[in-house]
Amino acid sequence: MMGVDYYVTLEINRTVTDAIIKQSYRRLALKYHPSTNKSPGALEKFHQLAEAYDVLSDPSKKAIYDKFGEEGLKGGIPPEFGAAGAWTSGYVYHGNPAKTFQLFFGGDNPFADFHSKDVDEMAVRLNGVQQQGKGRAVKTQDPPIERDLHLSLDDLFHGCTKKIKISRRVMNEDGYTSSIRDKILTIVVKPGWNEGTRITFPQEGDQGPNSIPADIIFIVRQKSHPCFVRQKNDLVYKAQIALEMALTGFSVDVETLGGRLLNIPINDIVHPQYNKVVTGEGMPLSQDPSRRGNLIIVFDTQFPQKLSAERKRVIKQALAS
C-alpha cells in the first residue's frame, strides 16, 4: 500500500478489533500529548495518531483505506467501486487533533483543563494558520491560481461573453469530507480590453478545512490576426503595392473589424517612411468604447526584379524632369 500506513502509526496490525484500535490510540495519544510530551516530533506524532484513529475507527473509511490505500481514500474511488455508480468523495481530515482527542475521551479527558491558548498554538504549528489577537487563530488564503484567457482580436474589438468550466474540491456539509464538483465561471469581455487584463474570481479555488480558497485569476492573451497588428488602441494594416503605384497614386481597400469596407485614396508619394493614418478606425477604448484609436496603413513597396534598357531610359527621363 502506498502513502501513509495508519496501522503502523497506531502500532497495530490489520486484523485487530475495534477495541484494540481504541486501546492503542488511547495509549499513544496520552504518551504524545503536547501538554506533557515536549520532545521533538511529539506534536507531529500526536497529529498523525489523531488522523489514523479518525480513519480506522470509522468502518466505511477503514474499508476504503484497506482496499485502496491512502490515495483512494483521499482522492475518491471510481464509479465501479462506489455506491450507486458514483465517484465517492475524497476524505479530508479536519486537521484538529485536539478535537479528536477530546471526542475520544469525552468527560474522562485527562487533560480537560488543558488551556485553550495551547490548543490554538498547536493548531498554528500543525495547520499553518496565523494567530490574530490573543488566543485566536485565523485561516490563511491559498496563493492565487492564474490562467491565460486567449481571445481573438475580434473578441476584443466587439466584446463577448466566455463561459469557462472549472473543477474544484468543495467541502461537504459535514465540514470534514470533500468532493470534486464542476462550476461555470462567466467572463464578460468588454470592448477594447488590452493584453494582460486580469479578471479575478475571489475564493473559487479548492476548499479545505484549514485554508481559505485561492482566488482564480484569468489573464487576457491576445491571439494574432491575419490582417491587423494591434499597437495599444491603434490597428496597423500592411498593404503591398507596386513601385508604379507608390509613385503615381492609387487607392487601398481595407475591411475593418467592424465589417465596413473602407476605400482610402493615396495621392502622396509613398516613400519608405510613409504611412497613412485614418482617424477613429482603430480599437475601441476600454474606458470609453464610443471612442476609438486610429487605423495606420503601412506599405510594402514591391520593386521590379529586372528592367529593360528602354524602360530604364524612360524612367530616367521621367524622373529628371
The arithmetic mean of pLDDT across residues 22-37, rounded, is 90
Which of these three, 110, 138, 166, is where a domain ends?
138
pLDDT > 90? residue 156: yes
Q: Are residues 234 and 169 in the same domain?
A: no
SS3 of residue 264 by DSSP: strand
Q: Looking at the domain assignment, is residue 70 inside a domain?
A: no
- Percent of the chain exceeding pLDDT 70 equals 83
CA angle 200-186-165, nearest 5°? 95
pLDDT for res 88:
57
Q: In the chain, which residue ranges form alpha helices assigned H by DSSP?
A: 6-9, 18-32, 42-56, 59-75, 97-105, 116-127, 153-158, 243-248, 309-320
In the predicted model, is pLDDT for residue 291 greater than 80? Answer: yes
The predicted structure's pLDDT at residue 131 = 40
pLDDT at residue 289 greater than cutoff 90:
no
**pLDDT at position 40:** 84
For the beta carbon of residue 297, count every other beta carbon within 10 angstroms. 22
Please indicate, yes or no, if residue 67 is contained in any of the structural domains: no
Name the 3-class secondary structure at 252.
strand
Q: Does 22 have pLDDT greater than 50?
A: yes
CB 166 within 8 A of CB 196: no
> Considering 178, 194, 222, which residue would you say is the last residue of a domain?
222
Mean pLDDT of the chain: 84
| Reported confidence tier of residue 112, pLDDT bands at 50, 70, 90 | low
**Which residue's C-alpha cell is 470592448?**
191
| Number of domains observed in the structure of the chain | 3
The candidate with the shortest Cα–Cα distance to 71, out of 96, 91, 100, 101, is: 91
pLDDT at 154 over 80: yes
Q: Per-residue confidence at 80, pLDDT binned at 50, 70, 90?
A: low
Lowest average pLDDT, out of 13-22, 113-122, 157-166, goes to: 113-122
Same domain, 180 and 260: no
Cell readout for 296 is 495606420
Same domain? For 22 and 126 the reply is yes
Residue 264 falls inside a structural domain? yes
Q: Is the pLDDT of residue 67 over 90?
A: no
Do 232 and 207 fall into the same domain?
Answer: no
Is the predicted pLDDT of residue 114 greater than 60, yes or no? Answer: no
Residues 121 and 159 placed together within one structural domain of the fold: no
pLDDT of residue 120: 45
Which residue did the predictor score with more confidence, 136 or 264? Answer: 264
| pLDDT the model gives residue 177 | 74
Is the same domain home to 134 and 210?
no
**Residue 120 and residue 43 share a domain:** yes
Output the pLDDT for position 116.
42
Closest by Cα among 283, 107, 121 to 190 = 283
Cα separation, 275 vs 127, whole angstroms: 63
Identify the CA nearest to 218 among candidates 242, 192, 241, 195.
195
| Listed ranges 58-62, 204-208, 227-231, 301-305; the one with the highest mean pLDDT | 227-231
In this predicted structure, the answer to whether residue 84 has a pLDDT above a threshold of 50 is: no
C-beta separation of 103 from 73 below 8 A: no
CA 178 – CA 115 distance, rounded (Å): 31
- Is residue 260 domain-resident? yes
Q: Which of 222, 252, 274 is the last residue of a domain?
A: 222
Query: How far apart, in Å, are the Cα atoms of 172 and each of 63, 90, 101, 127, 250?
Result: 20, 10, 23, 20, 70
Any domain includes 83: no
CB-count burial class (<10 Å; 0-12, 13-18, 19+) for 23: middle
Position 276 scores a pLDDT of 95
118: CATH: 1.10.287.110
- Cross-strand pairs, 298: 238, 275
Same structural domain, 131 and 39:
yes
pLDDT score, position 111: 58
Q: Which of 4, 111, 15 is nearest to 49 (CA)?
A: 4
Whether 20 and 134 map to the same domain: the answer is: yes
Q: Report residue 70's pLDDT band, with 50, 70 and 90 as the boundaries.
A: confident
Which one has a higher pLDDT value, 113 or 64? 64
The pLDDT of residue 140 is above 90: no
Q: Are 11 and 134 contained in the same domain?
A: yes
Quick one: what percent of the chain has pLDDT higher than 90? 53
Band (pLDDT 50/70/90 cuts) for residue 110 is low
Domain range for 255 is 228-320
Q: How confident is the model at residue 86 (pLDDT cuts 50, 70, 90)?
A: very low
Let me know whether 239 and 313 are in one domain. yes
CATH at 186: 2.60.260.20
Whether residue 13 is found in the same domain as residue 99:
yes
88 belongs to a structural domain: no
**Structural domain contains residue 19:** yes
Q: Is residue 119 part of a domain?
A: yes
Output the pLDDT for position 79.
53
Assign 101 a pLDDT band (cuts: 50, 70, 90).
confident
For residues 87-92, average pLDDT:
68
Left (φ > 0), alpha (ψ -120 to 50) or beta: where does 86 sit? beta
